Chains A and B, each alone.
Chain A
Amino acid sequence: MKAAGINPTADALIRVQGVNKTFLLGDEPVHALNNIGLSIQAGEYLSVMGPSGSGKSTLLNMLGLLDVPDNGQYWLNGADTVPMSEEQRAVYRRRHIGFVFQSYHLIPRLSASENIELPLILAGIAPAERKRRLAPVIERLGLGSRAGHLPNQLSGGQRQRVAIGRAIIMKPRLLLADEPTGNLDSQSGAEVVQLLEELNADGITLIVVTHDADLGRRASRRIRMVDGVIVSDDCTHYSGSESRTDQSDAP
């Protein structure tokens, strides 16, 4: 069975209907997203789990406007994003979405604070205003003494915190994290997770894609994907959103 794509919540932050995405892997077409339907309210904490190749990263890229679905509809913050031009999507990414990647993707020649500042620079914000916005973020991340260091002078946990700082500097409503603890030891991983959850508690919508079952369980809403299909969608703690469980494998 598949998510039917009928969604009565009009004011959801994210509303996805009948989205498909097919890749060619060699000569084999891979159906990475198979008629996906999903609705996410502002402030939710979601985890997306599933085996490799199940389409969870594709889903995250699509939600993050990095990738375009072959067909279907994707409403973000009340706007239909599928017909948008690449330029419009870029502006939307800048304003509404923060990304955290497994391999950090920091720019090696820029210091920690400059990496965090980068989205502000791309948005063309004046230097004085940038400084004003930067200070509280650096303090919050506990990077005060390390702000001037280059990425290769930082530990993995510190790098990921810089990446998170960069993701939230524009105050986005949606934070997408792709295996945020994948390259970290358990201690740094726990710190990063704690930071992400604090941000979620402050109101940001958090979507985490992970292999890590422990990390996945922490989320209040858990989605499982297999072969491009959402096979389960559990909502235990969160009460603001209806839970659709088409094919629950929850105990």
Chain B
Amino acid sequence: MIRTRDQLNFSIRALLRQRFRTLMQLIAMSIGVLAVVLLTGLGEGARQYVLGEFSVLGKDILIMLPGRKETSGGMPPMTGEGTRDITLQDAQSLLRLPEVERIAPLVVGNAEISRGARSRETLVLGTNNAFFDIRHIQLARGQILPDLPLDQPSPVCVIGTTLKQELFAAEPALGQWVGIDTYRCRVIGILTDSGTGLGMNMSEALIMPVASSMQLFNTEGVFRVMIDVRSAMGMGVLSRQIEDIMRERHDGQLDVTLITPDSLLKAFDSILSVLTFAIAGIGAISLFVAGVLIMNMTLITVSQRTAEIGLLKALGASSREVRQLFVTEAVMLSLFGALLGTLLAEMLLWLVRMQYPDIPFAAPLWATAAATAIAVGCGFLFSWIPASRAAQMAPVTALQHQNGK
């Protein structure tokens, strides 16, 4: 029996001898592996990013919105069509519960912000000072909204950086007055650059006391109430307690919906996981194509090296050994291709990470392992058939192949 080391040596020499063919197969295999690793890396990065965005809210947050939707599966409702508004008094009443640490009501609308000749239509959020802490919003300059009773308006506001740029350019904004439709308020704080989340771009927003915004938009009800819970334990119990209070306050009718970021997170997570699998599947198809290419190339190799096969048999190699030589060659090629592809993919992912540092693009280990396994498996399977054909050949026929040329 031929020794393993000699066999490897023989295969490596055969591969090096046919540099062009080897290179082509190597490229095909590495592109296949590259596709799988890169695509799953990007998909996984996107998934991690979205999950990260949700986790800004924190796990111990409940969100109450007006209207009752049966959330038996599927996404929780994003828009409230309540029969009855959630008032500030409703929100305030929740603080009775010992498990509720603080609440942040939220009124959302669009308004035209003006300063001198400049004006701009933008997002206006009415809330209280607890909101900044709950949403982890940080200020670059100035201060957050004052700690006022919920129903007390105050002519102050905090603005995002983009809005500040648009209204004030390089001039200092703190202490200046801006017009919000017919209303006027003074800028007391400017947000830091970061702070998008859940689809709201805070850098273009104006944040003002909730009572002021309700006057501005002439509304009695709030859009959302964010409820900060002391501990994440007993979320279900607390939800029921909150629902009891609301039912009591709304004449025995339950017309609010409570959602946890956790449930949103799970929904998104499963969607994005499916997406990642789907693109990994696309990558696997390209890997399969690379495998077919290896099969064709091995077939060509076999016919090119028919005389060599005949010679090896004349020198006393058994059919099994001849087959082993060809299969070893193909498997080695696939393995090198997989390594090369993985390396390239990791490099590209690294480059993308450099470009978008916020998004954690990285291929999961299972994808790399699976891609390599499929590559080697393809190399093995697809070389087996032509290698067997080579091995079956009668030595005399094989040797004559060369003479006939």
Contact = CB atoms under 8 A, between A and B. Distances in A.
Interface of A: 61, 64, 66-67, 86-87, 90-91, 93-95, 99, 101-103, 105, 107-110, 118-119, 121-124, 126, 166, 170
Given A91-B318, A124-B3, A105 B311 contact: yes
B317 interface: yes
23 contacts: A61-B396, A64-B314, A66-B313, A66-B396, A67-B396, A86-B318, A86-B319, A87-B318, A90-B316, A90-B317, A91-B318, A93-B315, A101-B399, A105-B307, A105-B311, A109-B17, A121-B6, A121-B10, A122-B316, A123-B316, A124-B1, A124-B2, A126-B3
Contacts of A61: 396
Contacts of B16: 109
Contacts of A123: 2, 316
Contacts of A166: 315
A108 B402 CA distance: 13
Contact of B311 (A87, A95, A107): A107
Given A105-B307, A107-B308, A121-B6, 11 more contacts: A64-B314, A87-B320, A102-B403, A103-B402, A103-B403, A109-B13, A119-B315, A119-B316, A122-B2, A124-B1, A124-B3
Contacts of B316: 90-91, 93-95, 119, 122-123, 170
A93 B314 contact: yes
Interface in B38-75: none
Interface of B: 1-3, 6, 10, 13-14, 16-17, 307-308, 310-321, 394-396, 399, 402-403
A93 B316 CA distance: 5
A123 B315 CA distance: 9
Contacts of B3: 121, 124, 126
Nearest to A62: B396
A166 B2 CA distance: 16
Nearest to B308: A107
A119 B395 CA distance: 15
Contact of B13 (A103, A110, A122): A110
Contacts of B2: 121-124
Contact of B315 (A108, A110, A122): A122
A101 to B, nearest CB: 7
A40 B243 CA distance: 107
Closest 7 CB pairs of A and B: A94-B316, A109-B17, A66-B396, A90-B318, A124-B1, A66-B395, A67-B396
A107 B315 CA distance: 12
A29 B273 CA distance: 66
A118 B320 contact: no
A122 B317 contact: yes
Contacts of B403: 102-103
Contacts of A67: 394-396
A66 B399 CA distance: 10
B396 A122 contact: no
A162 to B, nearest CB: 13
Contacts of A91: 316, 318
B284 to A, nearest CB: 34
